[in-house]
Amino acid sequence: MDSELSPWRTRMYAELNAPLATVVGAKTAKEFAALRLHSLGDLLRHIPRRYLSGTELTDLGSLVQGEHVAVIARVAHLQRFEGGSQAGRAPRPGRLEATLTDGQGRLAVTFFGKAHLLGWWERQLGEGVAGLFVGKVGSFRDNLQMSHPEFVMLDANGQIVGSSSQDKARMASLTRAGLVGLYPATGRLPTWTVAECARLACQSVAGAEDPWPAWVRDRAGVDELTTAFAAVHHPVSLAEAERGAQRLRFDEALATQLTMAYRRSSAAAQAATPRPRVADGLLDAFDRQLPFRLTTGQVRVSSAIFDDLARSRPMQRLLQGEVGSGKTVVALRAMLAVADSGGQAALLAPTEVLATQHYQTIRSLLGELGGGRMLGAPEVATDVVLLTGSMGATARRAALLRAASGEAGIVIGTHALLADRVQFADLGLVVIDEQHRFGVEQRAALAEKAMRRPHVLVLTATPIPRSVAMTIFGDLEVATLAEIPAGRQSVSTVVVDAVGRPAWVERAWQRVIEEVSAGRQVFIVCSRIGGGPAKADQGKGVVELAAELSAGPLAHLNVGVLHGQLPSDTKDAVMSSFAAGELDVLVATTVIEVGVDVPNATMMVVWDADKFGISQLHQLRGRIGRGSHPGVCLLITHGDAADPARQRLEAVAATTNGFELAELDLEQRREGDVLGASQSGTRSSLRLLRVLEHADIIARAREIAEECVRLDPGCTTPGFADAVRQTEMLADGDLLDSN
């Protein structure tokens, strides 16, 4: 497939990717940037958040202070206050106060001005008459109000009435057949301006050929694209608007699924070196010395991986599993199978702390089998090396040499593995830990270091709903480990209300002391490092909280500090001290979120827990209860009991089922960028599609995408090629530059 498609092959894609300034002007386009709308396509997919009928009164009780809104309400009362003169000062303006009602709630509207303006506004507004009011919701004396809203009055049929004016002409574009589209807007870009610009955008793409072939549209049951744009921006009915939105959601789904399907096709066409399992080799020796029995799930998933490795096409597999389900052992067995065949395996971790932890864990599990050519090591032993960006020059050169010579069968590292100077003798397997921290491009950069396409195994401890897996990891086969190995201890979780029950916080520190007195260790996690000026809503960071605890309730304990800004050797020393039991308490940021394994750590306190997401809290909680004692996790919050963040904490406390929490987590946040290096970036590939809510659309798009690849394996269909190109440019973050 031609990866340098320039210019766009279809007029539609060329139009959709044109800068907004070409249609709405540079000044207005600059305002749209605040809404992350940069191209014509961005604007056309920026659809109203809801539609109101001109005869439907807005629920005034749903208004939120600070929002820019459009409301339809009836004028219940009008009162005019004349201005007056002041000695030595400019005359004081008068004001007109209107009280709007939806039949139950009320909203104050105020206009200030000279007498002739007050008179004009008073004539336009009439008691008992409904109107459309657009403005920002403010507050005065604890009551919601709007100052100087733009407005037009409506007749009994919801049509605009009154004398003609510029405001009436602009706001008339909001309505058609009684429907009012309410767009996400800003103070400088009110909803009627968005509507007028969308109308111009619709005119710009009128007549452009649909990018999808007719058979794709028929199979999906969707309208043509220009029809869909008109339907969402100027609907005759709510049903028409929803049908248009369905087409736009399908477009997002199909573009993503096409990209994934062509990636799968490309990978399958590549030749990989088969790595069949070798009898009586390193893997068998490792299995014989394991001090525990593999779970049924570990055996099943390993068997599937061994089958993949034995084939001549590259494995592309995602292994997801609950915290503590034993993914590392499964990955290690795959790496040993590759080493048995004479190849090498590279394990890429997102942080130095996690890379070092993997190195130490794997060396510990292998024992003498990881001793390489050391005197006394078994004949089947292999070398295991660590490569990170902070290593000294001598250690780095030694690691690079052992990787390049093939002496090291397993190479573990961070992004340093992606550097050009890192070479392998025969890279056969790439293992990516915590895939959401890396992009497809980084995975590919490591794979390019192999003579032939290597097998790829991606690990994630974040349980993934099927619809998400189809979207984010659509180019990978998914395997799941849900069974927790025998011996893992239970972890109880309690939400601590620091505002309503401050004594509970004191009790939390007493509980820490009790845990340490019993010979065990404690993690305390903060959302920020701190150490500098903090905003009022940020709370204490690691630096402040550690100092406060060390001088106060935990003064007689050994308290360590760990965060990402510490020098690498300091981080290693702190983590080693904690792992060795020399530190009682470790106050840290989320650098300990994944992979860190200290069996003696049985308690975790999360400070300002409401600042963390559900999956993150579940990951953090997975750091305890890994030894012979049960764990306890305290989620300390300063948030309001009615805040949605508090509900997240209660959900985490209610279950340890990561798959249930993953579903809830996804319901409460955007999916983020589902393709490229920025998996949670602001430039999302998905604007309208929600992978849980629209799972059926994604599944249908995947089926159609597979058929597209079967019929057009070279991706020569212009619409397909443009869709893949645009999706990949979004993933790379290059689309803005291309405009």
Picking from 655, 681, 710, the residue at the C-terminal end of a domain is 655
User: Do 640 and 525 reside in the same domain of the chain?
Assistant: yes
Dist CA 179 CA 56 (whole Å):
9
What CATH code is carried by the domain that includes residue 313? 3.40.50
φ/ψ of residue 101, rounded to 5: -145, 150
pLDDT of the residue at 737 = 37
Q: What is the rounded CA–CA span in Å between residue 114 and residue 689?
A: 49
The pLDDT assigned to 668 comes to: 65
Is the separation of the CB atoms in 282 and 338 below 8 Å? no
Return the H-helix or E-strand segment holding 412.
strand 408-413
Cβ distance 318 to 418 under 8 Å?
A: no
Sequence-ordered list of residues with C-beta below 8 angstroms from that of 551, at least 6 positions apart, any chain: none
The closest of 375, 12, 15, 50 to 185, measured between CA atoms, is 50
Same domain? For 585 and 628 the reply is: yes
CB 204 within 8 A of CB 15: yes
Say how far apart CA 641 and CA 630 lie, in whole Å: 28
681/675 Cα distance (integer angstroms): 10
CATH number where 134 lies? 2.40.50.140
- Which letter does DSSP use for residue 213 in this model? -
- DSSP secondary structure of 374-411: -TT--TT--EEEEE-TTS-HHHHHHHHHHHHHT-EEEE
Same domain, 630 and 576: yes
Residue 16 lies in a domain: no
Does 508 share its domain with 480?
no
**Residue corresponding to tokens 């080493």:** 339
Dihedral over Cα of 116, 120, 121, 127: its sign = positive
623 and 594 within one domain = yes
- The CA distances from residue 551 to 130, 544, 545, 554, 556, in Å, are 64, 11, 10, 7, 9
User: Do 577 and 534 share a structural domain?
Assistant: yes
Question: Residue 48 and residue 226: Cα distance in Å, rounded?
Answer: 17
Amino acid identity, residue 398?
A
| Spatial separation of the C-alpha atoms in residues 479 and 484, rounded to whole Å | 15
Q: Are residues 467 and 517 in the same domain?
A: no
473 shares its domain with 587: no
Question: Are residues 711 and 605 part of one domain?
Answer: no
- In the three-class reduction of DSSP (H, G, I as helix; E, B as strand; rest coil), residue 129 is classed as coil
Final residue belonging to a domain, choices 114, 139, 158:
158
Backbone angles phi, psi at 248, to 5 degrees: -70, -35
Q: Which helix (H) or strand (E) holds 71?
A: strand 68-81
**373's tokens:** 């050519």
State residue 442's pLDDT score.
Answer: 65
Sequence-distant (≥ 6) Cβ neighbours of residue 668 within 8 angstroms: 614, 644, 648
The set of residues, in sequence order, having a beta carbon less than 8 Å from that of 248 and lying 6+ positions away, is 45, 47, 228, 232, 688
Sign of CA dihedral 138, 140, 145, 151: negative
DSSP 113: E
Give the residue among 482, 480, 488 at the shortest CA–CA distance from 597: 488
Per the domain annotation, does 368 fall within a domain? no
Q: Is residue 660 part of a domain?
A: no
Contact (Cβ atoms closer than 8 angstroms) between residue 408 and residue 382: yes
Taking a C-beta distance cutoff of 8 angstroms, is the pair 455, 429 a contact?
A: yes
737 CB neighbour count, 10 Å cutoff = 8
Residues 331 and 480 in one domain: yes
- Among 655, 684, 712, the domain-final residue is 655
- Asked if the structure places residue 393 within a domain, the reply is no
Question: What is the per-residue pLDDT for 83?
Answer: 77
d(CA 475, CA 76): 59
pLDDT tens digit sequence for 257-280: 999 899 889 888 889 999 999 999
pLDDT of residue 681: 31
Q: Residue 365 is encoded by which pair of tokens?
A: 């599990």
Alpha helices (H) in 149-281, listed in sequence order = 166-172, 191-205, 214-220, 225-233, 238-269
Tokens 């396409």 appear where? Answer: 453
Contact 150, 134 (CB under 8 A): yes
Q: Are 275 and 339 in contact (CB under 8 A)?
A: no
Together in a domain, 498 and 544: yes
Q: Are residues 115 and 239 in the same domain?
A: no
Which residue has 């990951």 as its token pair?
619
Q: Quote the number of domains for the chain.
A: 3
* Residue 367 forms part of a structural domain: no
- The whole-number pLDDT of residue 335 equals 97
Per the structure, the complete domain to which residue 614 belongs is given by 491-655
CATH code of the domain in which 516 resides: 3.40.50.300
Residue carrying structure tokens 């991606």: 458
Residues counted in the chain: 739
How many C-beta atoms lie closer than 10 Å to residue 291's C-beta? Answer: 5
- Ranges in the chain, pLDDT < 50: 1-6, 163, 175-177, 670-684, 734-739
pLDDT of residue 736: 37
